[in-house]
């Protein structure tokens, strides 16, 4: 730590070590703390207690930071943050209609803002009962800024991630403006930018995983390596709470940390290693624990529906669970998938486009293992990225959204290895015929051709990938909305609703609101229904009838019968898309319920210009449990 930073820390206290990302980190801590207070019956006191706990946690996190703050300068804000704001603004006025957002994320947000994920009277209201912490966070921004601008938290997380990349690249690129250009190239990965305007959760974990990687890369420099290991564990635990597939990112980080603990300049003795491991495990578990306990109490499986072959929850089959649409097939494809994904984009994501960032990063990381052997930070960066890519292929299904942090780490690896190659290629020599007798005379710059050519190739590949990524971002994203360039008139018209779009019900005509009046239970019959239902009436219980997996055992049927019995006498409604109507009617009837009437329902989804056509189903519940007799085919 420099004398200036040390003096600042003494003068301003622990908060003097706070950085841009720590404000967001407080909000991250807030949504995890809220889960600890789900047991509190009243919402306002629970949030007050959660805020106090989150503030204390953030204080100790900042106070125990192992390294001094490294603020970014004006070049970063102009060269990196401003273009990211531009990308965000391209689609910001158009409401997000992404599939996962309608399918479960909006319901997760509305429920977790008020308490536990499952409300009294529910029967599996969500098809994906994952940890709702990221949805709680986006829900906070949505309620504060409105539906359109609620996604700005993704932009803030991406700017935070870019700042971390700036710090990772400082040992390799000294000039701030050039480094800012390198950071911009690293963040211009299309599958990252596809999500910046959505309520999907993947971007929120990026700064957590990148900061964990940065601390791991610098663990050998730390005066207090224990603080590094505990911070890394906490960050990875929080990222895993946001999405369990982020767990595979922990493996290479843990290996590098273990090496520093056992072989580093400040290695730990047996007692120190045991204490550090226990503290790191506690830090890792802290964000994961409350929801895992809650889910275990609800289902018998703390990671439901994953690993049910081990936990054997009666509410999910013990077989299946692997989506065979995605990723490599066989060992050889698994090893090469980061490169093969460029040629098989349909197996990389539903959007079926990919600019190949991981292929470039894989090549750079493989080269870096050889050319960066005398650069511990660069070598560790290449190892973490390479091991992460292989684990993503093997454990993360090779699916695009499960490896977004690797897209950014790959960009950093390309820059780091290219910088090392250029330093190796650059040499100074005296002018011809004069071997340095006069040191004041100018010297001639010569380049070693092989390292220079390798560095140039890596830079050229990264630039080509960035250009292709920008082209893809202009045409694709998860909700497939137009951009300001594609339809500026609509962009300007929709922008008038900024900060005014907090309530979906306020957009409904009076006649349509009257048709929903008195709803006592929602029946989830369509793939994109429960998000709309949660926005219209968030505290109303939901009967999930659409997913066969929840109806495979007698205990599941008993739980369903109990939920139906509790809802008997209430008005039951369901919403589905028109094309889903035959399937929706069939699945409702297969559970022993009846569809009395279905009528068109026009939903102005936070926009009077861009409505969503749906069907409103009026459902009749059976008068007795006999009507719910389990069908033979189940």
Q: How confident is the model at residue 434 (pLDDT cuts 50, 70, 90)?
A: very low
pLDDT value for 266: 83
pLDDT over 60 at 106, yes or no: yes
> Would you call 398 helix, strand, or coil by DSSP?
coil
In the block, which residue shows the tokens 């997000």?
A: 96
pLDDT value for 8: 44
Which H or E run contains 574? strand 571-576
Residues in contact with 411: Cβ distance below 8 Å, sequence separation at least 6, in sequence order: 165, 185, 186, 187, 189, 357, 361, 462
Summarised one tens digit per residue, pLDDT across range 113-132 is 999 999 999 999 999 999 99
pLDDT value for 3: 41
pLDDT value for 611: 86
pLDDT over 50 at 472, yes or no: yes
pLDDT over 90 at 64, yes or no: yes
Cross-strand partners of 123: 543
Residues in contact with 297: Cβ distance below 8 Å, sequence separation at least 6, in sequence order: none
pLDDT value for 630: 63
Q: Would you give the DSSP letter of residue 126?
A: -
Cβ–Cβ under 8 Å, residues 209 and 237: no
Average pLDDT over residues 231-236: 98
pLDDT over 80 at 340, yes or no: yes
Q: How confident is the model at residue 431 (pLDDT cuts 50, 70, 90)?
A: very low
pLDDT value for 320: 59
pLDDT over 90 at 438, yes or no: no
pLDDT over 50 at 512, yes or no: yes
Average pLDDT over residues 554-571: 93
Q: Which of 624, 537, 619 is nearest to 570 (CA)?
A: 619
Torsion angle of C-alpha atoms 250, 255, 257, 260, degrees rounded to 10: -170
Tokens of 461: 């590949």
pLDDT over 80 at 446, yes or no: no
pLDDT value for 93: 97
pLDDT value for 634: 46
Summarised one tens digit per residue, pLDDT across range 131-154 is 999 999 999 999 999 999 999 999
How many Å apart are CA 532 and CA 538, to the nearest integer?
A: 9
> Would you call 456 helix, strand, or coil by DSSP?
helix
Q: How confident is the model at residue 41 (pLDDT cuts 50, 70, 90)?
A: confident
pLDDT value for 633: 46
pLDDT value for 429: 39
Tokens of 589: 């009837």
Average pLDDT over residues 375-398: 94
pLDDT over 50 at 437, yes or no: no
pLDDT over 90 at 426, yes or no: no
In the chain, the percentage of residues whose pLDDT exceeds 70 is: 93
pLDDT value for 428: 42
pLDDT over 80 at 445, yes or no: no
pLDDT value for 435: 36
> Would you call 45 helix, strand, or coil by DSSP?
helix
Least confidently predicted of 248-252, 276-280, 308-312, 428-432 = 428-432
Domain boundaries, the chain: 505-628
CA distances in angstroms from 341 to 462, 556, 615, listed in the order given = 16, 39, 39
Average pLDDT over residues 389-413: 95
How many Å apart are CA 418 and CA 364, to the nearest integer?
A: 8
Q: How confident is the model at residue 324 (pLDDT cuts 50, 70, 90)?
A: confident
pLDDT over 90 at 322, yes or no: no
pLDDT value for 582: 96
Tokens of 611: 């409505």
pLDDT over 50 at 16, yes or no: yes
Q: How confident is the model at residue 200 (pLDDT cuts 50, 70, 90)?
A: very high
């Amino acid at each position: 730590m420099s004398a200036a930073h040390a003096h600042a820390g003494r003068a301003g206290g622990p908060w003097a070590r706070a950085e841009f990302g720590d404000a967001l980190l407080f909000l991250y801590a807030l949504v995890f703390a809220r889960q600890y207070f789900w047991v509190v019956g009243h919402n306002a006191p629970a949030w007050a207690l959660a805020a106090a706990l989150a503030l204390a946690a953030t204080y100790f996190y900042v106070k125990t930071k192992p390294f001094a703050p490294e603020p970014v300068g004006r070049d970063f804000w102009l060269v990196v943050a401003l273009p990211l704001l531009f990308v965000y603004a391209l689609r910001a006025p158009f409401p997000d209609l992404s599939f996962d957002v309608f399918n479960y994320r909006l319901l997760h947000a509305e429920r977790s803002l008020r308490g536990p994920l499952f409300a009294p009277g529910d029967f599996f209201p969500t098809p994906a009962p994952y940890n709702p912490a990221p949805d709680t966070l986006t829900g906070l921004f949505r309620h504060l800024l409105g539906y359109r601008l609620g996604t700005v938290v993704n932009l803030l997380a991406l700017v935070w991630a870019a700042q971390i990349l700036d710090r990772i690249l400082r040992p390799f690129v000294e000039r701030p403006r050039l480094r800012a250009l390198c950071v911009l190239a690293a963040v211009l990965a299309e599958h990252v930018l596809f999500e910046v305007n959505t309520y999907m959760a993947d971007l929120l974990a990026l700064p957590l995983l990148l900061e964990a990687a940065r601390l791991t890369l610098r663990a050998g420099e730390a005066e207090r390596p224990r603080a590094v290991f505990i911070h890394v564990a906490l960050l990875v635990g929080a990222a895993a709470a946001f999405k369990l597939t982020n767990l595979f990112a922990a493996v290479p980080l843990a290996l590098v940390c273990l090496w520093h603990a056992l072989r580093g300049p400040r290695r730990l003795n047996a007692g120190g290693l045991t204490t550090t491991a226990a503290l790191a495990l506690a830090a890792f578990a802290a964000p994961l624990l409350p929801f895992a306990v809650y889910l275990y109490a609800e289902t018998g499986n703390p990671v439901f529906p994953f690993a049910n072959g081990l936990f054997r929850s009666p509410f999910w089959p013990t077989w299946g669970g692997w989506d065979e649409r995605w990723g490599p097939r066989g060992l050889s494809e698994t090893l090469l998938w980061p490169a093969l994904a460029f040629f098989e984009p349909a197996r990389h994501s539903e959007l079926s486009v990919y600019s190949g960032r991981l292929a470039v990063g894989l090549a750079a990381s493989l080269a870096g293992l050889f050319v960066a052997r005398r650069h511990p930070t660069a070598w560790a960066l290449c190892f973490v990225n390479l091991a992460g890519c292989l684990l993503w292929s093997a454990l993360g299904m090779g699916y695009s959204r499960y490896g977004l942090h690797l897209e950014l780490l790959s960009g950093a690896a390309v820059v780091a290895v290219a910088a090392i190659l250029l330093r190796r290629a650059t040499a100074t020599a005296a002018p011809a015929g004069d071997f340095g007798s006069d040191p004041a005379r100018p010297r001639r710059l010569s380049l070693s051709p092989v390292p220079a050519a390798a560095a140039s190739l890596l830079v050229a590949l990264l630039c080509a990938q960035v250009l292709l990524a920008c082209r893809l971002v202009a045409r694709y994203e998860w909700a497939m909305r137009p951009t300001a360039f594609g339809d500026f008139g609509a962009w300007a018209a929709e922008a008038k609703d900024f900060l005014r779009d907090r309530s979906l019900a306020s957009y409904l005509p009076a006649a349509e609101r009257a048709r929903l009046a008195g709803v006592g239970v929602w029946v989830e019959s369509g793939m994109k229904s429960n998000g709309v239902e949660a926005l219209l009436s968030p505290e109303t219980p939901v009967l999930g009838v659409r997913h066969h997996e929840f109806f495979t055992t007698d205990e599941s049927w008993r739980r369903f019968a109990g939920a139906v019995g509790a809802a008997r006498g209430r008005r039951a409604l369901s919403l589905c898309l028109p094309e889903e109507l035959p399937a929706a009617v069939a699945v409702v009837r297969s559970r022993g319920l009846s569809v009395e009437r279905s009528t068109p329902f026009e939903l102005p989804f936070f926009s009077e210009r861009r409505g969503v056509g749906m069907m409103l189903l009026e459902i009749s519940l059976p008068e007795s449990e006999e009507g719910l007799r389990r069908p033979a085919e189940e």
